[in-house]
Amino acid sequence: MERCKIYEKIIKFIKDEYKAQSVALHEPKFIGNEMRYLKQCIDSGFVSSVGQFVTDIEMDMARITGAKYAVAMSSGTAALHIALICAGVRAGDEVITQPLSFVATANAISYTGASAVFVDVDMDTMGMSPSSLSKFLDENCIKKDGKCYNKNSDKFISACVPMHTFGMVCKIDEIAQICNMWGINLIEDAAESLGSKYKGTHSGRFGLAGVFSFNGNKIATSGGGGVLISDDENMAKMAKHLGTTAKVPHPYEYNHDYIAYNYRMPNLNAGLLKAQLENLDLYLKDKRELAQKYAKFFDSLGIKFINEPKDCLSNYWLMGIILDDKNSRDELLKYANEKSVMMRPAWRLTSELDMYKNCIKDENKNAKYLADRIVNIPSGVRLNLA
Ligand SMILES: Cc1ncc(COP(=O)(O)O)c(C=O)c1O
């Protein structure tokens, strides 16, 4: 079939699915108690960083993920920053992550004064590849007194931050095993993977901590916000303390025992999130149904739709297709956006951005291949129950 005809079919399919002439990439849906909880905040006066909804969503997130503790933060980036500090990452260290990610992953590493090291992703999960991680460690690192050092730079490798790309969980049990063997703390950037599981366990639960984002484009939103989960009591307590300006609890005195951060989630945002989390199962069901329809449709056109990989139950946060080459990718992007169906490429690889281009990295071969060919397609919840 002629390329233009194929694009036309794609646009028609998406507009029909969403019953709209203009389709966004991922819009939030407010079809539950959002207004009610926001009004409760305003009526009670508790709009800021103290309030029942903050406590509620921490309990909700612990329940949903199965983690012992959940700590609300002002953003996913803030939660990642705090997680790294609590994991002992310090200025001058190296932290291993992946090149195919939103820039916030590497930025949070940089905030600590550590440098990012980029190892490649797997083709099927689009997340950190355990074999690339192992290869990098075997070829470049030694273990001394239970800790991992880069032999070439003589720097301490204090953490590893894989990311679950578009909601697909990477081979996180293998990565956890490798990190354990090398004495490296594992922090999962689970920003995109609320509701995603690996071999039955929720993402974010495989290392010392996991971090979720509730930015407006995520599967559930607080407007802006994040949550850190952990099974480690000390980690959770420290995260809460450092995210709340390290204020020593007292009814009226102001005493602080660290140079810390104001990373608190306001009650207003938590109220919005509580309502969103109440509908999470509905969102997950709708997105899974859409993914199945997309898979069948793209298969009929001979285009590769990105399905959940083996052992992963995906939340299908951002769905995508893989085209033959960069030219076809750009052609479809132009065509779709001109027809008011929003599509976007994957991120430019973080390891190629000016700020990070001199960081240590392997070949990043799969990441480069994917970044050139992925097109993200409209993936928002289609329900309209308002
Ligand atoms: C992979 C990844 N990491 C971190 C973040 C940062 O989250 P936030 O925007 O809440 O700071 C996001 C999303 O925004 C993300 O997609």
| 385 vs 305: which has the higher pLDDT | 305
Q: How confident is the model at residue 1 (pLDDT cuts 50, 70, 90)?
A: low
For 28-69, the pLDDT digits (tens) are 999 999 999 999 999 999 999 889 999 999 999 999 999 999
- CATH number belonging to domain 3-24+280-377: 3.90.1150.10
Q: How far is the CA of 187 from the centre of ligand 1 (A)?
A: 14
Out of 213, 272, 273, 344, give the residue to mutate to test ligand 1, the one with the largest number of ligand atoms within 8 Å of its CB: 213
Using the predicted structure, report yes or no on whether residue 386 has a pLDDT greater than 60. no
Please determine whether the domains at 3-24+280-377 and 34-278 fall in the same fold group of CATH.
no
363 with 120: CB under 8 angstroms? yes
Q: How far is the CA of 242 from the centre of ligand 1 (A)?
A: 20
Q: How far is the CA of 249 from the centre of ligand 1 (A)?
A: 30
For 197-237, the pLDDT digits (tens) are 999 999 999 999 999 999 999 999 999 999 999 999 999 99
Nearest alpha-carbon partner for 332 in 374, 383, 381 = 374
CATH number for 34-278: choose from 3.40.640.10, 2.60.120.280, 3.90.1150.10, 3.10.20.90: 3.40.640.10
Distance CA 143, CA 276 (A): 45
Q: What is the mean pLDDT of residues 307-320?
A: 98
The structural domains of the chain, with segments of one domain joined by +, span 3-24+280-377, 34-278
Q: How confident is the model at residue 384 (pLDDT cuts 50, 70, 90)?
A: low
The crossing angle, in degrees rounded to 10, of helices 365-373 and 326-338 is 30
Average pLDDT over the chain, rounded to an integer: 97
Number of the ligand 1 atom closest to the C-alpha atom of 75: 10
For 265-279, the pLDDT digits (tens) are 999 999 999 999 999
Kindly list the strands in the beta sheet with 209-213, ordered across the sheet, starting from the edge strand earlier in the chain.
69-73, 226-230, 209-213, 185-189, 157-161, 94-97, 115-118, 360-361
Out of 82, 101, 111, 192, give the residue to mutate to test ligand 1, the one with the largest number of ligand atoms within 8 Å of its CB: 192
pLDDT confidence of residue 50: 87
pLDDT confidence of residue 4: 87
